[in-house]
Amino acid sequence: MRVGFIGDIVGKPGRSMLELHLKKLRQEFALDFVIANGENASHGFGLGSQHAKELFSYGADILTGGNHSWDKKEIIPLLDIMPILRPLNYPLGVPGRGVSVLHVKNETIGVLNIMGHYGMPMVENPFFKCSKSSRSA
């Protein structure tokens, strides 16, 4: 299985780059699955519902977020129904999920979205959270 990861897509320039190049990259590198960080795709702060749909239409399979996951409030109800992950190590009770297990090309893959501490809001220790998640998976 070949997985591609695209770092922070920022605003219209980032979305335009995805539109222009992702389909070609998927073909050139025979990518079976693409993970893209979309938390800043809407004008550099957050992810709006229209821009999420746009990124999926360009070929992203799942979107990840971070400290800007909730900047656009319209995305909150979509976190539970679209393949969009917020950081797993945010406190219990926040909308969305931080891990997804999917079946791609007869294989099972897991995508874990976790946020570090440096320069970020205080969240559960990412190393402890990953360790707990791996024991319960």
pLDDT of residue 53: 97
Rounded Cα distance between 2 and 4, Å, is 7
What would the pLDDT profile of 7-50 be if each residue is shown by its tens digit?
A: 999 999 999 999 999 999 999 999 999 999 999 999 989 999 99
Residue 5 or residue 134, greater confidence: 5
Over 80: is that where the pLDDT of 137 sits?
no
What would the pLDDT profile of 40-51 be if each residue is shown by its tens digit?
A: 999 989 999 999
Q: The domain that contains 22 carries what CATH number?
A: 3.60.21.10
Known catalytic residues?
68
Overall number of domains in the chain: 1
Rounded Cα distance between 60 and 14, Å, is 13
What would the pLDDT profile of 44-90 be if each residue is shown by its tens digit?
A: 899 999 999 999 999 999 999 988 888 999 999 999 999 999 999 88
Give pTM, 2 decimals. Answer: 0.89
What would the pLDDT profile of 88-136 be if each residue is shown by its tens digit?
A: 988 888 899 999 999 999 999 999 999 877 766 677 777 777 776 555 5
Q: Which domain holds residue 33?
A: 3-136
Instruction: Return the C-alpha torsion angle 19, 72, 75, 115, nearest 10.
Output: 80
Q: Are the C-beta atoms of 33 and 1 separated by less than 8 Å? A: yes
